[in-house]
Amino acid sequence: MGTGLFAALAAVFFTRISSLTASQFALGLSLAGAVGFVLTIPVGVVGDRFGARRTLIVLNLWRAAGFACYAFVTSFPAYLVVVLLTAIADRTAGGVGQAIVADVAGDDRRVRLMAIMRSVRNVGYAVGGLAAGVAIAIDSSWVFRGTLFGIALFYVLCAALLARLRTADAGRVPVRTKRTWAFRDRRYLAFTGLNVFLALHVTTLNVLLPLWILSVPAIPESFVAFPLILNTVIVSVLQLPATRHIVSLRGAGRAALASAALLAAACCFFAFSAWWNDPAGAVPVLLCGVLALTAAEMWQAASSWQISMDLAPEGNRAQYLSTFNLSNTAERVVGPAVLPALVMTYRSWGWLLVCAVVLLSGVSTWWLARTAAPATPDGEADKEAVGGVGVA
């Protein structure tokens, strides 16, 4: 809920209340993304050294302090300091949080737990967005600042709940374990790189599809927000059932292949929607694409959870999962920079190129998953099972 609140509120608060320009606001977010990208793996290493639960408690308290400080920002230098310091915790916590899921859930329940969390997060995001709309409508600086303090309180509550959570590292004295590095594990890096392309549904839904709808005369402009709303509702309801049969690396590989095929089909539907001259034809075709894209998103998410957690050695899990999460960061950087320029320039041919890249990534992930074996606690995999591709 806090994420949805801030996402909807931030631009209005910083440009209207804190008197920043739009370019200053955007620059801060870009630099924060860079800080998060650079520090994600070091924070994962800290999570392995001191325990994922302890580390995430600290990160949540850090986030709380950062969001509270946002309320006092009145200049660009102050904004820059706060946004960069907050990014250290806010942009690096994903891998550590996933490591906690791996600690508290058995091998056969991790993906289901991640699915439940994602469904709840989607609902919270939507509720937060609605609450932000109320704050924006009231248009009071004190309401904006009170909302930021409320977000900070959410993170304090999260830290308190984590403190009561029983995990593998709870009450355990931190000890040094054999260090294996994800960036030297060629197999893990291959899965991480392929996930960048399989996750292109994020940019497609949030950035490319609105631009495409506005460029197709037969689709009403008022339809722009509907795909995102439909996607949010479906994912909230069906993400958990979509994970039911994904309990192994091979199952995850098949899900990744199915996800790629569905995303490719969605791209074809979107391209085909521009061939119609009236809404009665264009809108249903576009909706078919949105449904295919949503199914692709759910299976891609589930397969990425299974693969990233199965191949992460126990003693270095937070570092490995933080490395894998960089693929999502990379998609958010590369996708908006490439996809709109490609598709809006070359139209149907651009969509077909996206299809080809996604399908190739899906086939490659499926093939690698067929020959992969889960990591052992010390980080050594069965190299015969993975075709001799282990830790370099």
Report how far residue 40's alpha carbon sits from residue 389's, in angstroms, rounded to the nearest whole number: 25
Number of domains in the chain: 2
Under DSSP, is residue 182 helix (H, G, I), strand (E, B) or coil? helix
Domain-located, residue 129? yes
pLDDT value, residue 212: 94
Whether residue 254 is found in the same domain as residue 283 = yes
Whether residue 202 is found in the same domain as residue 153 = no
Neighbours of 134 (CB within 10 A): 10
Whether residue 30 is found in the same domain as residue 111 = yes
Report how far residue 2's alpha carbon sits from residue 235's, in angstroms, rounded to the nearest whole number: 19
pLDDT value, residue 167: 64
Below-50 pLDDT ranges, the chain: 173-175, 381-392
Query: What are the start-end ranges of the H helices in the chain?
Result: 2-12, 22-50, 52-70, 76-90, 93-104, 110-138, 141-163, 186-198, 201-203, 209-215, 226-242, 249-273, 279-310, 317-346, 348-370
Q: What secondary structure does DSSP assign to 302-324, as a single string?
A: HHHHHHHHHTS-GGGHHHHHHHH
pLDDT value, residue 354: 97
Residue type, 315: G
Structural domain ending residue among the three candidates 163, 194, 220: 163
CATH number of 71's domain:
1.20.1250.20
Domain-located, residue 70? yes
Range of the domain at 98: 2-163
Whether residue 107 is found in the same domain as residue 221 = no
Whether residue 214 is found in the same domain as residue 271 = yes
Residue 185: strand pairing partners: 391
Structural domain ending residue among the three candidates 133, 163, 193: 163
Report how far residue 38's alpha carbon sits from residue 44's, in angstroms, rounded to the nearest whole number: 11
Neighbours of 8 (CB within 10 A): 18
Domain-located, residue 194? yes
